[in-house]
Amino acid sequence: MPIKRSEAMQPLSRQHHNALLFCLLLKKGIAKKADNSVMKDFCISFWENDLMHHFQLEEDLLYSLGNTYPVLQSGLLQMKDEHTALQQYMNQIKIHVTYAILTEYVNLLEKHVRFEERILFPHIENTINSNILQQIGKALVQEEEHNCLQYPIHFWE
C-alpha cells in the first residue's frame, strides 16, 4: 500500500517515483546485457537532469532541519552521506562503466529512495511544525515532473 505523503512533500516523492522507475529500467537493461555505454549515457542524463537537482533540493530544504530538530540529525546525515556516495558512483560511471558498477549504483539508489520514503520523510512530517512543512511545500510548488521513460533510446526493451 502506498505511503500517504503530506502535500508539502509530494513533489519530492514524485521525483522519488521517477528515480525508482529509473532503477527499474536500468535493472532491465543490465539483465539483458544492453550496451553499457548507452546505459552510461542514460545515467548521466538522469543525473544531470533530475537527480543532481533533487539532491540539492533535499539538502537545501531539509538538511538544516537537524539544527532545529536534533532528533532528525542522524537520518538527515544518512541522507547526505548517501547523496555523496551516489555522486561518487556517478563520477566512476562517467570514467569507466561496468555492469557491476551499474548494479551497485542502482541498488544504492533504490535503497536510498526507500529509506527516504519509508523512514526519513515520515519522521520529518511527524516531527516538524506545520508552518515549516508549509514553507517546504511553497519552495517545492514549482517543481516540474519528469519521466525517465522519455529517454530516446529504450535499451530496456
- Cβ neighbours, 10 Å, residue 17: 15
Q: Answer whether residue 151 is part of any domain.
A: no
pLDDT at residue 10 is higher than 60:
yes
> Hey, how many other C-beta atoms are within 10 angstroms of the C-beta on 29?
23
Q: What is the pTM of this model?
A: 0.94
- Check residue 145 and give its pLDDT: 83
Number of domains into which the chain is organized: 1
**Structure-block grid coordinates of residue 142:** 514549482
For the chain, give the percent of residues with pLDDT over 70: 98
Write phi, then psi, for 63 (nearest 5 degrees): -60, -40
The reply to whether 60 falls in a domain is: yes
Q: Is residue 78 part of a domain?
A: yes
Contact 137, 9 (CB under 8 A): yes
Confirm whether 150 is domain-assigned.
Answer: no
Q: What pLDDT shows up at residue 2? A: 58
What are the pLDDT digits (tens) for 13-41? Answer: 999 999 999 999 999 999 999 999 999 99
128 within domain boundaries:
yes
Nearest-CA neighbor of 151 among 2, 34, 12, 10?
34
H-helix segments, 1-157: 10-31, 36-46, 52-61, 65-68, 73-95, 99-115, 121-127, 130-140
Is residue 19 within 8 Å of residue 51, measured between CB atoms?
Answer: yes
CATH number at residue 51: 1.20.120.520
In the chain, what percentage of residues exceed pLDDT 90?
A: 92
115-129 residue pLDDT tens: 999 999 999 999 999
Crossing angle, helix 52-61 and helix 130-140, to 10 degrees?
Answer: 150
pLDDT of amino acid 1:
53
Query: What mean pLDDT, rounded, does the chain reach?
Result: 95
> For position 146, what pLDDT does the model report?
87
Domain membership flag for residue 131:
yes
Residue 54 belongs to domain spanning = 8-140
Q: Is the pLDDT of residue 52 over 80?
A: yes
